[in-house]
Structure 1
Amino acid sequence: MENTRLSGILKQFNYYKEVGDKTMAQLSFEDINYQPNADSNSISIIVKHMVGNMLSRWTNFLTEDGEKEWRQRDQEFEASYTSLDELLIDWQKGWTCLFDAISPLKESDLNKIIYIRNEGHTVAEAIFRQLGHYSYHIGQMVYIGKLRKGDKWTSLSIPRGSSKAYNSDKFKKSKGKRHFTDDL
């Protein structure tokens, strides 16, 4: 029997990855490196931070602390990507690490205790912590993307003025168990 809780978690992570993918697909490498000011992060820096976090949190996450000794968090906030390909390879590497760690989990794993900086979390709590963290940063990426593209931005959700038509289409379907990402 499928574990619907873990399946739903994986769908949510996939959704946010896809939002990040679709954001970057609309942008040039120059746009991805844009910083409104010195204290702001570019999409490039956000990606670098997310990848560092993913590799640290999800590598051997059931047996090792989620904050690895080899992680250089402060360096994640220094721009260093020299090409879009390099950035996208890292982006994929981080997500692969996450999906490889979560995909084999069983329902019984969700209550196991793991540690992040010596603070105990159930596996479920750690997953939800990271889901919130990544969606926060992907929202920042979308916002920067919208700023850069202006009226050339292609909406990643229901475009303004389209809610009525979108809802009408949804309510034409019979009630049923579905995930909101099934139609994306």
Structure 2
Amino acid sequence: MTINFSTLSKYLLVLTGVLGLGSLSISPALADNHTDSMDSFAEMEQMPVGQTNTEVGNIVEVASGNETFSTLVKAVEAAGLGDTLSDSSASYTVFAPTDEAFNQLPEGTLEYLLQPENQEVLQQVLSYHVLPEQVTASEISGGTVDSLNGGLATAVTDAGVVINNASVITPDIEASNGVIHAVNRVLLPSDLQSSLASELGIEETEIYQ
């Protein structure tokens, strides 16, 4: 078979021209797609990944945001312990009396503790509710634990954790610098019970509830 090189050359020239025109017509679209893709990647890079608003506050902030602890927060401020319990470098466990727990104190007790001249007594009472480390409810067993102001008796019953004569009613409230356990009674150091009773003119048994 004889190949006509002249005809073949013309055919190749025509084919090259067609491909060239096709390339010219396609290139802008490809360029647009490429630009769009780059823009999309740029937008993706700017989007926050895994960003949430679930950051937990410190013990004072968490308690302040819970209406159950409004009296406790007031007492912490009066005692000047706000900075201590807000310290992000520390770790605490707070057995936090609810408002109802404070209401169960003998008449006049809370008012007495909140007086500026009795700040030291209030500090002793509140420090008795604080452990110098984080302890979850599941880590508490029968025995004793050391608070910032003396030992606390602990027990675990079918109903839950008991601290002295107070029951933990809401355990493991998370904070950035520790944990809060809501309790249904105010804990009072034994060495303060008689002096408080004397100041209030009541029987010591009333103080212990």
Band of TM-score, shorter chain: under 0.3
Higher-RCO chain (CA-CA 8 Å, sequence separation at least 6): 1
For normalisation by structure 1, the TM-score amounts to 0.27
Structure 1 or 2: more helix by fraction: 1
**Greater C-alpha radius of gyration:** 2
For normalisation by structure 2, the TM-score amounts to 0.24
